[in-house]
Amino acid sequence: MANSKAATGEAGAHGAGETRRDFLMLATGAVGAIGVGAVIWPLIDSMNPAADVLALASIEVDLAPVQVGQRITVKWRGKPVFIDHRTPQQIEESRKTPMSELKDPATDEQRAKKPEWLIMVGVCTHLGCIPLGQKQGDPRGPYGGWFCPCHGSVYDTAGRIRQGPAPRNLVLPDYAFLDNNRVKIG
């Protein structure tokens, strides 16, 4: 629509009246285009996450009830997050692993900000199943970490991929400790 306004101004550049008309057309077309852009933005932005969705974009988890050796699952942005209160043996084992054995190399320090708390998104990096290992009696795989039943991916005690088709380690979300007993995820 703005085009036709500018287009009609193209008829002849001779005469002061005509060029004034051209300018007016062009200027109005520009102002109109700004208006159209200003109208389009709310339509697009309304499809972005709304305030109530954003409010759930981060969660605070109370870690006090989680015993050493216990694993809990919390929901964050619609996905499960594994929180593992690791034993010193698990931390030790993880630290001793040579990088050459890892498909997706990462040190234990890189995997956990505080070594006793391992926090990862519980979604297998292969095709998205939820690995087993959170509940008592779940198979944990040969490394004592997690085992994905869908296609056999095996994760170690730092959530790193060791066997199976998954290409990457379990994803680490953004998180920060608010104090010794509380962590904010996201």
Closer Cβ to another protein, 55 or 99, answer by number? 55
Report the distance separating Cα 83 and Cα 177, nearest Å. 13
- Catalytic residue selected from 14, 85, 126, 151: 151
Buried b (16+ CB within 10 A) or exposed e, 2-36: beebbeebeeeeeeeeeeeebeebeeebeeeeeee
The interface region with another protein, picked from 17-25, 107-115, 126-134, 161-169 by CB under 8 A, is 17-25
131, two tokens: 């690995």
Chosen residue from 43, 67, 179, 180 binding another protein by CB under 8 A: 43
Report the distance separating Cα 56 and Cα 10, nearest Å. 54
Q: Is 161 in the site for another protein (CB under 8 A)?
A: no
x-marked contacts with another protein along 19-38 as a string, rule CB under 8 A? --x--xx-xx--xx-xx--x
Residue 154, Cβ neighbours under 10 Å: how many? Answer: 21
Where do the H-state alpha helices sit in 46-166? 51-55, 88-96, 108-111
The interface region with another protein, picked from 53-61, 125-133, 148-156, 161-169 by CB under 8 A, is 53-61
- Whether 151 sits among the annotated catalytic residues: the reply is yes
The residues that are catalytic are: 151
**Contact residues for another protein, defined by CB under 8 A:** 4-5, 8, 21, 24-25, 27-28, 31-32, 34-35, 38, 42-43, 45-48, 50-53, 55-56, 60
